[in-house]
């Protein structure tokens, strides 16, 4: 009874894992005192059996981890102690740490992408730039590179001409060019209005129509005078006509 009490105290100590019971295959054993009362140790066989099963499962887990380790590190040779009966948690932890270290090293040293990754990159490029065959990938790459260089140079020149910061996005460049065009168009309109002496758009149209009716006959007359007087400069027409008086 004293031994059972000691085992029970160990199972109930803070260091012990949670008491997860599993139904035993055999009959439940009850320990009864002489007066017929139960001693309270009926849970011990179930708990010890469950712990024994877990300890046996450690060996299976160790075997699986060792198999995974050999897959990742085939240069390692099998350890004769792997077949020993007792497996410690430290052995499992050692295997897990070795596997994690190997995986991390492979990720750091793996600089060459896989064939699947390269194929995905090429397919994505074909989709983005409408390339129907693999033979057209390199020409389209060269074309994209050339166009990109031209666009980069154009944007750099626009940044300098518009006195924008080099980090300004294309949207800012477009907005600035639009505002500049708006200012230029406004100035041109004002100059036309000032030249024609009117602010009314209909009056401007009428004056332009009058100009179209007047200018062709006037131009024909001037050309005829130049030919008749055998001169080539408009400034000489008046002096030559005066000399004919």
pLDDT at 21 > cutoff 60: no
**What is 72-102 written as a DSSP string?**
H-TTSPPPGGGG-S---HHHHHHHHHHHHHH
Q: List Cβ neighbours of 39 (8 Å cut-off, separation of 6 or more).
A: 1, 4, 30, 31, 32, 33
- Is the model's pLDDT at 79 over the cut of 50? yes
Q: What is the pTM of this model?
A: 0.34
Structure tokens, 145:
């590179």
pLDDT in tens, 224-241: 888 888 888 878 888 888
List all residues 6 or more positions away from 23 whose beta carbon is below 8 Å from its beta carbon: 46
Q: What is the pLDDT of residues 28-74, one digit of tens each?
A: 444 444 444 445 666 677 777 777 777 778 888 888 888 888 777 76
Query: Percent of the chain at pLDDT above 70?
Result: 71
Q: Is 38 helix (H, G, I), strand (E, B) or coil?
A: strand
Q: pLDDT tens across 142-195, in order?
A: 999 999 999 999 999 988 888 888 888 889 989 988 888 888 877 776 776 666
Sorted by sequence, the CB contacts under 8 Å of residue 102 that are 6+ apart come out as 72, 73
Cα 185 to Cα 179: distance, rounded to the nearest angstrom:
10
């Amino acid at each position: 009874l004293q031994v059972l009490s000691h085992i029970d105290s160990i199972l109930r100590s803070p260091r012990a894992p949670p008491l997860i019971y599993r139904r035993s295959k055999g009959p439940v054993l009850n320990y009864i005192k002489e007066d017929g009362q139960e001693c309270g140790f009926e849970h011990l066989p179930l708990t010890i059996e469950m712990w024994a099963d877990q300890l046996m499962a450690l060996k299976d887990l160790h075997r699986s981890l060792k198999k995974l380790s050999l897959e990742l590190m085939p240069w390692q040779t099998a350890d004769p102690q792997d077949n020993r009966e007792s497996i410690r948690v430290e052995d499992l932890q050692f295997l897990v740490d070795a596997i994690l270290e190997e995986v991390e090293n492979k990720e750091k040293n793996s600089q060459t992408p896989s064939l699947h990754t390269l194929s995905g990159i090429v397919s994505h490029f074909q989709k983005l730039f409408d390339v129907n065959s693999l033979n057209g990938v390199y020409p389209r790459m060269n074309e994209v590179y050339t166009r990109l260089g031209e666009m980069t140079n154009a944007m750099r020149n626009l940044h300098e001409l518009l006195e924008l910061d080099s980090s300004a996005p294309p949207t800012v460049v477009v907005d600035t060019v639009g505002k500049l065009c708006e200012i230029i168009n406004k100035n041109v309109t004002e100059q036309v209005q000032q030249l024609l002496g009117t602010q009314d758009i209909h009056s401007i149209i009428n004056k332009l129509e009058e100009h179209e009716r007047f200018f062709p006959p006037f131009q024909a007359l001037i050309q005829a005078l130049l030919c008749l007087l055998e001169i080539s400069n408009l400034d000489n027409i008046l002096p030559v006509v005066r000399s004919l008086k």
